[in-house]
Structure 1
Amino acid sequence: MRYVIVGAGSVGAVIGGRLAEAGSDVLLVARGAHLAALASAGLRLEEPDRARTIAVPAAAQADWRPGDVALVCVKSQDTAAALRDVPRDVPVVCAQNGVANERWAHAAGFADVYAMCVVLPAELVEPGVVVNSFGPAPGLLDVGRWPDGVDERAERIVADLGAAGFRGRAEPAVMRWKYRKLVTNLGNAADAACDPDDPELDALVRTARAEGERAVEAAGIPIASRAEDRERRGDLRILPVAGRDREGSSTRQSLRRGSTSVEVDFLNGEIVALGARHGIATPVNAVLQATLAEMAAAGEAPGSRRAADLLAEAAVRTP
């Protein structure tokens, strides 16, 4: 089995680099300056307890082979483009935030679709250099078939990830955990829009997540509880990495890099759409969705909005 990491940015590079380090066959698919650095100097992976350079094959496109597994690690807005050149008989593992990617892969004709619930706070700090600030394990990665179930391939993937140091299990109800992660990720937009010291930031995040909880409940979608999530994460936490300041959420990182598109439509936007279908008001998530799209389009720096203003705008929208 070869793991083709489709989108070897931050999360993809950590997973692929550690798999390669543990002896798995891996290909990193990347682009631009990051690809050039990976190809010429290898992957520099910095973690709380050590930093090292890992030699991993990297390319702009995969030379697909029998037995390959595609680990899709791109942002959700890039999924359709990333899957375009993947043969439909290749198993696809959606190692992504949000809950729509698996549906899209199935609709695109992939027969074997897997969901991976990813808890791994990594950052691409410069071409070829990735920081993973999690410990004592590098990440929590649960895998299951979509929409549910496990099989030998899921068990093998989990075993290989375990050999690479990750925690995880073959989880037949993996989407319960991805919906919990979706609700948690509703705070990413607030983290990107506002300064970390903003006195109303916590209230903004709590309100966005509460709306998400209500929308998911109204839709009758199974979701892991907050207590289950705390227990599942256990002693895993964000730790300092020597010489590095953590930027924040993946959405904040995207704004800092000047990206003109962010993942907000597939996080907060998922909840807005769910609420609309089931009669649940989601004004805070709607404001966050619109605000982050506006900030990305304008090239606005993260932290430039006030949480109190966003809450006030949401209050105006409340029916």
Structure 2
Amino acid sequence: MRYIIIGAGAVGGTIGGRLYESGHEVVLIARGNHLKALRQDGLRLATPQGVQQLAVPAHGGPLEVELRRDDVLVLAVKTQHSEALLTEWAAQPVAGGGTAGELLPVLCAQNGVANERLALRRFRRVYGVCVWMPATHLEPGRVCALGSPLSGMLHLGRYPAGRDGTAERIAADLETARIGAPVSDSVMSWKYAKLLSNLGNALEALSGPIRGDLRTAVWQRARAEGEAVLAAAGIAYRSTAEQQAVRGDLVTAVPVEGEPRPGGSSWQSLARGTGDIEADHLNGEIVLLGRLHGVPTPLNEALQRLANDFARNGRAPGSLPEARLAALLEL
């Protein structure tokens, strides 16, 4: 199998880099200065085991890659970028006849629960991936994977449910690359559990690390809204105890010298000044489900709105005033 990583940021760069260093064939897809750096110097992958400069082939899009029938597409961008990329890649021809959408598996290695539905409109073979991977991407050409002894845990399975030989083969490849990859018949139950955890992403991006009484109280209320919504919608998700039992001590964020762990994916979006953020598909997913099922979600709605405002206006991560944060508890 050849792995085409669409979005070589923190998660995609870690998956691609780890697979490449383990002897698997990998192609990275990136854009802008990140692509330029990857082409010029390769991927600089820093881990607790050391720093490597990996000469992974890098391209800017599907027109630069001749697709093969043994290719696996790994979508690792934020959800707000998924639809355009899925449309573009699905239409690409595969050597020997047919298109990517008809023939190739696509893995949605992303936060949120909307990507798989977007993919299934265009691809016949869609796999959900629940990503637990402490990693950062703040500078072009550089990714830091802090997880140890494994770089991450990727639960994967067919969407909407089930497993097959392809999932098992991909999982086996990932296991050779310091990435845990349990195959699940109900991968979305893992992804909905992760969605609840990700409701704190916007809070961290807005106000900094979630510690202390005030931030903890806001986080707990945001999660409580999420749990109430999923209960009303009849959506099953894995418990915190189940998640911890699988991960155990296998994925622990370990400081890497010269590579601080500043914040999660939404924090990093603000730090890089990307102009957008994934809150519409994290807190916004809870808001959407709340509206569909008659459950109020005022705090998640406020976090979604504030995160989008920060992204559009180039606000620095962690710069929400304490008084504004405290006011969220009065909603």
| TM-score, normalised with respect to structure 1 | 0.95
Alignment match of 1:80 (pick from 73, 76, 83): 83
Per the TM alignment, residue 138 of structure 1 is displaced from its structure 2 partner at its CA by 0.6
Distance 1:100 1:216, change over 3 A: same
Alignment match of 1:224 (pick from 238, 249, 262): 238
Equivalent residues of 1:284, 1:310 under 8 A apart: no
| Residue 293 (structure 1) aligned with residue 308 (structure 2) | yes
Distance in 2 (alpha carbons) for counterparts of 1:243 and 1:3: 29
- Misfit runs of 4+, over 2 Å: 195-199, 306-316
What's 2:94 paired with? none
- Per-residue CA distance 1:257-305 (angstroms, 9 max, x = gap): 1121100000000001111111211111011000001111111111111
Alignment match of 2:137 (pick from 124, 127, 138): 124
Distance in 1 (alpha carbons) for counterparts of 2:233 and 2:326: 25
1:196-211 maps to which residues of 2 (within 5 A)? 196=209, 199-211=213-225
Distance in 1 (alpha carbons) for counterparts of 2:276 and 2:138: 19
SS of aligned partner of 2:156: strand
- Per-residue CA distance 1:158-197 (angstroms, 9 max, x = gap): 0000011111211111110000000000000000000336
| TM-score, normalised with respect to structure 2 | 0.92
AA of the residue aligned to 2:314: G
- Segments of 5+ residues of structure 1 without an aligned counterpart are none
Distance in 2 (alpha carbons) for counterparts of 1:159 and 1:295: 40
Equivalent residues of 2:284, 2:300 under 8 A apart: yes
1:1-319 maps to which residues of 2 (within 5 A)? 1-62=1-62, 63=65, 64-86=67-89, 87-89=100-102, 90-107=104-121, 109-196=122-209, 199-235=213-249, 236-306=251-321, 309-313=324-328, 315-316=330-331
Distance 1:307 1:148, change over 3 A: farther
Distance in 2 (alpha carbons) for counterparts of 1:306 and 1:203: 16
Equivalent residues of 1:47, 1:132 under 8 A apart: yes
AA of the residue aligned to 1:37: A
Per the TM alignment, residue 154 of structure 1 is displaced from its structure 2 partner at its CA by 0.3
- Per-residue CA distance 1:119-157 (angstroms, 9 max, x = gap): 011111311111111111110011100010000000000
- Per-residue CA distance 1:65-94 (angstroms, 9 max, x = gap): 222111000000000121122131221110
AA of the residue aligned to 2:117: R
SS of aligned partner of 1:126: coil
Aligned length: 315
SS of aligned partner of 1:200: helix
Distance 1:300 1:191, change over 3 A: same
Equivalent residues of 1:219, 1:274 under 8 A apart: yes
